[in-house]
Amino acid sequence: MLMAHLFGGYILMKKMLIRAFALLALSALAEGQSAKAAAAQMLPEQLSVEKWFVGNWICEGTQHASPMAPGVKFIDRFSFRMALRGSWLIYHIDQLKGPVKGKQTLIGSSTWDANAKVHVRRDMNIGGSRVDVTSPGWDGDKLVFTGYMIAGDEKLPVKHTFTRKGDAAYDSALEVTGADGKPAMWEEESCKKVRGVAAMTPNH
């Protein structure tokens, strides 16, 4: 009888320990989910500007002739995603048609700078040139970035305007002010959001 009593007590204690561990595990899981939810809630609502671009876009455009390069027509695939728990927009361009077909031509990032109260963006291009620009955000259907293009020993003012055409299309125009102080259109393109196979092999 004594052995049965002791064995019964052991079984009861074992069940209690299992329940305690299960409760601790559930509590830790709930805390983890709460922490993730809190982190997501802490992201500034201004990042909705960056989130609008998430996905794959096919862009057809023209790079106008300039002292740096001849004029060309191109088709690019522009791929955007949010990274670092949704706090940065990361993107890259793969050229589908044009002088560097099959190559990645640009990588970049954008986020909201709560200190400066602007969206900050950097594009990095083949050859080491870059574009550093800022924007206050959407003004109606227009998103205007201003800043500089740094190429070699030149630092040229730029203005980059995005114009929304509904939820799945936009036009883009990049204007560069040359060393002579005269602004000129550098590049214009029209982009449409695509999904699935179309994002990889558009009909061109």
Q: What is the pLDDT of residues 114-140, one digit of tens each?
A: 999 999 999 999 989 999 999 999 999
- Residue 188, burial from CB neighbour count under 10 angstroms (0-12, 13-18, 19+): middle
Say if CB 174 and CB 191 are below 8 A apart. no
Residue 3's pLDDT is: 42
Q: What is the pLDDT of residues 149-192, one digit of tens each?
A: 999 899 999 999 999 999 999 999 999 999 889 999 999 999 99
